[in-house]
Amino acid sequence: MNTIPLTQEKIIGKHVFGNLYDINSEILNNKDFLHNIILEAVKVAKMTLVESKAWSFGEKKGGVSVIALVEESHIALHTWSEYNYATLDVYTCGEKSDPQAAFDYVVSQLKPKRYKMFYADRSSGFGLGDNS
């Protein structure tokens, strides 16, 4: 039987994500504005940008998607202008990066009337609830 050596080193995985409600639909269709918000969120969170891209989608349930690939993982924003709604996902495995700061910055710029935020610890290592 092969065993995995246990080390003191581990990946620090921090995942902040949520749903943003009742946002001005004009903001949610502005691809350049949203792209710039995500680029600034990368800086605010002390992440290192690898590449970013933004897309506009028309038709029913249209909106914008913005993805920033960072050395530490990613930031993803998806909007639905018809529903004045967006989802935001900030995941990082960087010990010095701050996904909460990125999430808070995006919320401050989109100004939803309400939002739900969630946090998941996605660090490596063995602990309670592991199936290892």
Point out the catalytic residue in the list 35, 81, 93, 97: 93
For residue 19, what are its two tokens? 């749903």
What gap in Å lies between CA 70 and CA 82, rounded to an integer?
30
Please state, in angstroms and rounded to a whole number, the distance separating the CA atoms of residues 97 and 16.
12
Please tell me the distance from the alpha carbon of residue 86 to that of residue 77, in angstroms, as a whole number.
7
Give the active site residue among 35, 78, 81, 97. 78
Q: Is 15 a catalytic residue?
A: no
Q: Known catalytic residue: 93?
A: yes
- Among 25, 35, 65, 73, which one carries the catalytic annotation? 73
Q: Are 125 and 10 in contact (CB under 8 A)?
A: yes
Catalytic residues: 73, 78, 93
